[in-house]
Amino acid sequence: ARAMLLLFTALAVGAVPLPVPRSVRSEGGRLDLVLTLERATVTTSSGATLKTRAFNGTVPGPTIRLQPGDDLKLHFKNRLPDQGSAYVHNQFSAADESNVHFHGLHVSGELPSDDSTVPVLPGQDLVYQTSLPDDHMAGTHWLHPHRHGSTALQVAGGAALALIVEDPPGTLPAQVEAAPEVLMVVMQIDLEMTQRIASRAGDSWFQLDGSLQ
């Protein structure tokens, strides 16, 4: 059987509470955020350590909360060391090149907005700027790397975060609006598959030290 690692957030298993990701929220119709992609070491519930890549050093990354009509300015910083993994078309490659994709948002797909065709090389920065339509539907979306070649390695390793477009006040039934919110982010990391991808992409960082048992 394949070795799997499930990471849960914002729920409790037995008596052990799981952490809730930090939230960053727009104010006055604008959110200005610095987001780094960096190497991180995550400790599992069994005490094993997973060497992977993460947004702002955590799996999952911080939760982004927006309102319809908001302007988002995201300073993306690729802080991965360059291992010399060159890009090869339609192959696992470019292990340390990256970018971000606003998965689910109805925004422009061209720079400076959500253009997943533009790579951000190791050590480089790129500022994304986009505006949500005033009538953008509320919903729970996500943000993740989308550099072809390295997407599988980075996303499968936990580089992702929740991106929530909130319902404007007064638009929900009162009992729904008053209900407590519970955010759950579930990530399934297929260790054997991701280690094979890392090997094919020329990556020496992704690995598990210890046992999941």
Confidence of residue 45 (pLDDT cuts 50, 70, 90): low
d(CA 124, CA 122): 6
d(CA 147, CA 73): 20
pLDDT at site 147: 97
Which is it for strands 63-66 and 161-165: parallel, antiparallel or unpaired? parallel
DSSP letters spanning 129-195: EEE--TTPPPEEEEEE---TTTHHHHHHTT--EEEEEPPPTTSS-HHHHTSPP---EEEEEEHHHHH
Helix (H, G, I), strand (E, B) or coil at 92: coil
pLDDT tens digits for 139-164? 999 999 999 999 999 999 999 999 99
DSSP state of 98: B
pLDDT at site 15: 44
Nearest to 97 by CA among 148, 61, 143: 148
Q: Is the pLDDT of residue 89 over 90?
A: yes
DSSP state of 102: E
Query: 0.95 exceeded by the pTM?
Result: no
Q: Roughly how many angstroms between the first and final C-alpha of the chain, as a whole number?
A: 14
